[in-house]
Amino acid sequence: AQSVSQHNHHVILSEAASLELGCNYSYGGTVNLFWYVQYPGQHLQLLLKYFSGDPLVKGIKGFEAEFIKSKFSFNLRKPSVQWSDTAEYFCAVNPDSNYQLIWGAGTKLIIKP
Amino acid sequence: GAVVSQHPSRVICKSGTSVKIECRSLDFQATTMFWYRQFPKQSLMLMATSNEGSKATYEQGVEKDKFLINHASLTLSTLTVTSAHPEDSSFYICSASASGGAHTDTQYFGPGTRLTVL
């Protein structure tokens, strides 16, 4: 069965630290890849997405993600986090562009001021 | 851009009554809308997918006669929980996607509706 795994359920960092959140998926075909963020008390927002082309994708708020096809991975990165990045981050995969999203379990990120 | 709204944000109803939740795409035309349910501390569970002007496709285990979905226009989909019972209490979230342009193949989420059935 298709699945998405996010390796860390909770991450705690200090401000200005670098961030990398792992995401791996199990599907051998064409995929669209997404990272969504949910800030406290807010709804899910699209952070960035990858469909094709340059495997290094830049999103909002200084986030980027790299698609490595050979590793079935789509890790999210940010060079220097801020307190306002405290949120829950979800990786999602859309196999074969059939619209249905397969979700990772989410990673709760806490940034200490 | 790509804003999705839901109304109401919170609703409390008596057991046996029906509740309608609206989902609107405010600045784009949504050819496809999705309805999710979220239980506490769990990830989103897809209930159904609806395309404008067509019948919704329900996920396995979701009762289509209980959760009526209408997607009558490119900016509005409604979910009606019929004869609601306390076990229907949950957080219902919609998302919308377009078939062309910058928003194609991407789901944009609404803020959710908290339903409490007494």
CB contacts, 8 Å: A106 with chain B: 43
Asked if B46 and A32 come within 8 Å (Cβ–Cβ), the reply is no
- Indicate whether B102 pLDDT > 90: no
Share of chain B above pLDDT 90, in %: 71
- Reading the block at residue B63, the tokens are 């009762």
CB contacts, 8 Å: A34 with chain B: 106-107
At A49-86, the pLDDT tens digits run: 999 999 999 999 999 999 999 999 999 999 999 999 99
At A77-111, the pLDDT tens digits run: 999 999 999 999 999 998 876 667 899 999 999 99
Q: Compute the mean pLDDT over every residue in chain A, rounded to the nearest whole number.
A: 93
CB contacts, 8 Å: A94 with chain B: 105
Quote the pLDDT of residue A36: 96
DSSP states along chain A: --EEE-S-SEEEEETT--EEE--EEE-SS-EEEEEEEE-TTS--EEEEEE-SS-SEEE-GGG-EEEEEGGGTEEEEEESS--GGG-EEEEEEEEETT-S--EE---EEEEEE-
Please provide residue B82's backbone torsions phi and psi, each rounded to the nearest 5 degrees. Answer: -90, 145
Quote the pLDDT of residue A98: 63
CB contacts, 8 Å: A32 with chain B: 105
Asked if B107 and A101 come within 8 Å (Cβ–Cβ), the reply is yes
Cα separation, B106 vs A34, in Å, equals: 9
At B41-86, the pLDDT tens digits run: 777 889 999 988 888 999 999 999 999 999 989 999 999 999 999 9
Quote the pLDDT of residue B41: 74
Quote the pLDDT of residue B111: 95
Quote the pLDDT of residue B54: 84
User: Which residues, in sequence order, are bridge partners of residue B97?
Assistant: B32
Is A94's Cβ below 8 Å from some Cβ in B?
yes
pLDDT band with cut points at 50, 70 and 90 for residue B18: very high
- Reading the block at residue B114, the tokens are 């908290």
The predicted model gives A2-9 an average pLDDT of 90
Quote the pLDDT of residue A100: 79
What one-letter code names the amino acid at A53?
G
Are the beta carbons of A58 and A64 closer than 8 angstroms? yes
When CB atoms are compared, the residue of B46, B110, B111 closest to A100 is: B46
Quote the pLDDT of residue B1: 67
Sign of CA dihedral B40, B44, B50, B56: negative
Pairing of strands A24-26, A19-21: unpaired
Asked if B109 and A44 come within 8 Å (Cβ–Cβ), the reply is yes
DSSP letter assigned to residue B50: E
Other C-beta atoms closer than 10 Å to the C-beta of A106 total 21
DSSP states along B72-110: EETTEEEEEE-S--GGG-EEEEEEEEBSSGGGBT--EE-
